[in-house]
Amino acid sequence: MSDDRFTAIIVGAGPAGSTAAYLLAKEGYEVLLIEKGSAPGAKNMFGGRMYAHALNRIIPGFWEEAPVERPVVREIITFMDGGRSTSVTCRDQGWAEPPYHSFTLLRAEFDAWLAAKAEDAGAMLACNICVDDPLYENGKVVGIRAGEDEMFADVVIAADGVNSILAQKAGLAAMFSAGQVATGAKQIIELPAEEIGHRFGLEGEGGAAQLFVGDCTRRIHGGGFLYTNKRSISLGLVLNTASLGKGQIRVVDLIEDFKANPEIAPLIDGGTVAEYSAHLIPEAGLGMTPQLFSDGMLVAGDAAGFVLNLGYIVRGMDFAIASGEAAAGAVKAARQSGDFSKAGLAVYRKLLSESFVLRDLEAYRRAPEFTANPRLYGAYPEFVTSLASRLFTVDGSQPVHVLGKVWDHFRKSGLGLTDIAGDGWKGVKWL
């Protein structure tokens, strides 16, 4: 490998960057993977679950060697309001068998493993280096500058996460607005493995994923999450950053309230907080996708805004991995044609469209609009929890059939019929 020129310089050793590096290095290309953290994963966090399909296509049976925690077999959605909560649960034991549906995992270990796969395949990994700028020659990106150092390549892949300095400095992305991103805050709470199994009704290695909506965010746009790991629980909140700013609410206070909620407190009782972290999440879908390629540059993963939040499903890891794969495919095609110009790299968009990345973002393009509806975080959780409570209450009062209770409850709720019909229609159509 030549010391001063690479086929690809990949900035960011998260799942997008390490996947691209792994696939290119495996084909014998000269790859430099640069990470600003002291190790891959050192600066990364997420809620806690990766859908397995994208990585399984690239590294079949990856769970045999990757540091995954538990295959998720139990999904729970919980509406919260005041002291009331109502949950919907789905269990599928089939998800506990290969090819697994999704895994909980911890990023420090997982990202280090994926970057090591790239290194084993022949990529050069350089940590503790923060890339400052793209380098240009005749209007084309030809490398990067990090401090005093300059490094050169046929193509640079910006896989540097949600606040992609590289894509912004290259003029491919604009700075996002507060409403386009959410702030995520999370604690890892350690508990014995058997206690986790007991508290969540889990057998063997199976895991649970639970999402919360309602007053866990004091009714602002966002929600709570809980994922079971082998010997810990990942617990946190995701809050739309603009709504958070308007409400002048401190995230740390919300987290403490959440932990004290009667729905959560018994689940984490006796646990030890081992880690606290926070990170931004791109949430505007195609509404914040930058230009994906230019002369000598590609943008992948969160840097391209590739995250899908449907409220009941959160996906970013599989998008990052698949976009890293598409970026590697585009570099291979450009190398074969000897054309790393914008025209030569345009195949990247085609590859993203052929994979699920742009297809799914397009299919759910109105999800961000739907999930911004304030009724989802206040009026509906209140309605669902109080109605459920009323259905289960026996107090000697005059009997009323279920339909009568629902109608009476609806009349008193202050919700309009057109609101419910409109929101319901959008929900089934857009999600």
Answer yes or no whether residue 181 interacts with ligand FAD by CB under 6 A. Answer: no
Answer yes or no whether residue 290 interacts with ligand FAD by CB under 6 A. Answer: no
Answer yes or no whether residue 254 interacts with ligand FAD by CB under 6 A. Answer: no
Q: Are the C-beta atoms of residues 159 and 324 closer than 8 Å to each other?
A: yes
User: Using the rule CB under 6 A, which residue among 73, 112, 165, 357 binds ligand FAD?
Assistant: 165
Answer yes or no whether residue 221 interacts with ligand FAD by CB under 6 A. Answer: no
**Rounded to whole angstroms, how far apart are CA atoms 316 and 308?**
6
For residues 135 to 164, the per-residue mask of contacts with ligand FAD, x marking binding by CB under 6 A and - elsewhere, is ------------------------xxx---
Q: CA angle, corner 288, sides to 287 and 293, nearest 5?
A: 120
CA distances from 336 to 29, 213, 422 (A): 12, 50, 51
Nearest to 330 by CA among 300, 375, 374: 300
CA distances from 198 to 50, 193, 254 (A): 23, 9, 27
Answer yes or no whether residue 224 interacts with ligand FAD by CB under 6 A. Answer: no
User: Using the rule CB under 6 A, which residue among 239, 307, 334, 347 binds ligand FAD?
Assistant: 307
**Rounded to whole angstroms, how far apart are CA atoms 282 and 41?**
18
- Look at strands 133-137 and 140-146 and give their pairing: antiparallel
Q: Is 161 left (phi over 0), alpha (psi -120 to 50) or beta?
A: left
Answer yes or no whether residue 360 interacts with ligand FAD by CB under 6 A. Answer: no
**CA-CA-CA-CA torsion sign (109, 114, 115, 117):** positive
Answer yes or no whether residue 252 interacts with ligand FAD by CB under 6 A. Answer: no
280 CB neighbour count, 10 Å cutoff: 17
Q: Are the C-beta atoms of residues 186 and 108 closer than 8 Å to each other?
A: no
Answer yes or no whether residue 70 interacts with ligand FAD by CB under 6 A. Answer: no
> Least distance from C-beta 144 to ligand FAD, angstroms?
8
Residues 2-61 that bind ligand FAD (CB under 6 A): 11-17, 34-37, 43-44, 46-50
Answer yes or no whether residue 297 interacts with ligand FAD by CB under 6 A. Answer: no
User: Using the rule CB under 6 A, which residue among 1, 130, 265, 273 binds ligand FAD?
Assistant: 130
Binding segment for ligand FAD (CB under 6 A), chosen from 80-88, 193-201, 290-298, 300-308, is 300-308
Answer yes or no whether residue 71 interacts with ligand FAD by CB under 6 A. Answer: no
User: Using the rule CB under 6 A, which residue among 238, 268, 352, 376 binds ligand FAD?
Assistant: 238
Site residues for ligand FAD per CB under 6 A = 11-17, 34-37, 43-44, 46-50, 130-131, 159-161, 165, 184, 186, 238, 279, 281, 301-303, 307, 314-318, 320
